[in-house]
Amino acid sequence: MADLIDIAKKEIGCKASESNTKYGRWYGIQGPWCAMFVSWCAHQAGVSSSIVPKFAYVPSGISWYKNKGRYKSSGSYTPKRNDIIFFGGGSHVGIVESTKGSTVYTIEGNTTNSVARRQYAKSSSYITGYGLVNQYTGATTKSEEKKDASAEKELAHLKKVLKTIEKQKAAPKVEDYEISSVIPNKVKVELLVTHSGKTYQLPVKDGMKVTYERKNAPGKLTFSTIFDNNKKIYNGDPVSLRVNGKDFFFGYIFTLKPQVDGTIDVTAYDQLRYLKNKNTYMYKKKTSTQLVRMIAKDFGLQTGTLANTKYAMTRIDDNQTLFDIIQNSLDETLMSAGKMYTLYDDFGKLRLREPWKVNILIDEKTAQSYDYTRDIDNNVYNQIKLAYENKKTGTLELYVSKSSKNINKWGVLQYFEKIDSPKVAKLKGKVLLELYNKVSRTLKISGAFGSISVKAGCLLPVLMDIYDVKISRYLLVDKVTHEFNNCEHTMDLELSGGDFDSGY
């Protein structure tokens, strides 16, 4: 059994004279066809004649519903999707599409010789009454069936997210750290540039930096070298950096600034720089993994290992940077599937992965200084409001999850989202509250002993006692700047982890 309105919507715009309509041909007679249109829609939807009779004369339709005890007079009832609406004492009939507030929306046949949408005030004297259909059909539209299937998938994802959150809460604090690699050692750096098919090593002044950020920024290399006619470099030249014989950075020269002292200041970016390009992408049922592969192919970017993000979505991102298009997808994956992924360049290959642990201990001994921030200004919510538009009743159903305790402390910080199914409302509200109803804490570390294994998106063990919190957790690296001076390697770090006391 289908839905009358789904059938009727496909007929909108159909024009016909009373002497020749397909609805009349189906019914077996020609003439005024508003009632035949209603009957035809019910037949096409597979609705039994015991729910919507086959009728061509409007007053007989009214009588049928009254005899069945399924008739409501105007003013005494709020009509619902698929109900039959009668007008003018029995002169015209249509199908109710929805009711919103004090307005009834309909689809009618034989209205100015066509099928068209109309709307009326519920109190309109032109409305005579309604034949009750909605509560007897139990019909589910194809779109609703798809939404139900999607809701079941989302419910499964949300249950997994909740289990992950509960597991993190129950997880013991990290106590064992590998600290051998935090001992400062002399480092050897090799900077190689290729120009016109020739590759040569450049001398580099102290202060060379490599910066990686977790969101919407390419890896960045800045250095100063000495001008040499025999080793000229130009914009677009590939450049690679090796530290102690290990590959660390690969990118392309974007900026050259020759100085009066014979040096050249150079800025190079890895291939994520090309994600600053703008484009429009319309995609259906693609995961973030599939989206990254599609964009990489379109723009000639090289890919390495990409984690399977699994959660598929349908989106339209118009005139946005490729960075934003990918991040929108990753953010939706986090919101719906509860998993965080970082896209980064690994020496010339794009990688996508969940946070990974790097056991380089950060404490008071391995860091020169720190800057700590508590924040409820960004991505912190103590009230989750989810809204479902019920097209059958024409109402907006609201589902609210909140923390009265934190509302009393911070005021209302509300997250709002429209959902496709009320089935997910309760669990989704609970999950979102678990994820975002907590102080966001960030920690900046200056001058930590360096390691090239540290990139944005990884997790570092942190053991520090700061202000209101004793940190003994793996924290997420949002940004890292590696600096090389006098053969020494140090790092400046920006770390986060939501509530430090409840996992990363």
Residue (of 120, 179, 171, 142) closest to 361 by Cα position? 179
How many whole angstroms separate alpha carbon 250 and alpha carbon 192? 10
* Mean pLDDT for the stretch of residues 449-454: 92
Give Cα 96 distance to the centre of its chain. 34
| C-alpha–C-alpha distance, residues 10 and 109, integer Å | 12
Distance CA 110, CA 17 (A): 8
Q: Give me the amino acid identity at 171.
A: A
Of 358, 362, 359, the residue nearest 462 (C-alpha) = 362
Residue pair 76/87 in contact (Cβ under 8 Å)? The answer is no
Chain segment 168-227, per-residue pLDDT in tens = 555 445 555 444 444 556 889 999 999 998 999 999 999 999 999 999 999 999 999 998
Residue 186, classified by CB atoms within 10 Å of its CB into exposed (0-12), middle (13-18) or buried (19+), is exposed
Q: Is the pLDDT score of 140 beyond 60?
A: no
176 Cβ contact list (under 8 Å, min separation 6): none
Give the span between the Cα atoms of 489 and 243, in whole angstroms.
10
Residue-level pLDDT at 394: 67
Tell me what the mean pLDDT of segment 106-125 comes to.
Answer: 93
Residues 6 or more apart whose Cβ sits within 8 Å of residue 379: 436, 440
Strand partners for 337: none
Half-sphere exposure of 434 (CA within 13 A, CB side): 22
| Nearest residue to 457 via CA among 327, 324, 349, 358 | 358
Distance CA 14, CA 115 (A): 5
- Element housing 468 (H / E): none
Q: What is the pLDDT of residues 340-380, one digit of tens each?
A: 899 999 999 999 999 999 988 888 788 778 888 888 998 89
Beta-strand runs (E) in 88-141: 92-100, 103-108, 116-121, 127-131
pLDDT at 334: 83
Phi, psi (degrees; rounded to nearest 5) at 467: 50, -95
CA distances (Å), origin 339, targets 422, 435, 436: 23, 11, 14
Provide the pLDDT for residue 117.
Answer: 94
Helix axes 58-67, 34-44, angle to 10 degrees: 50
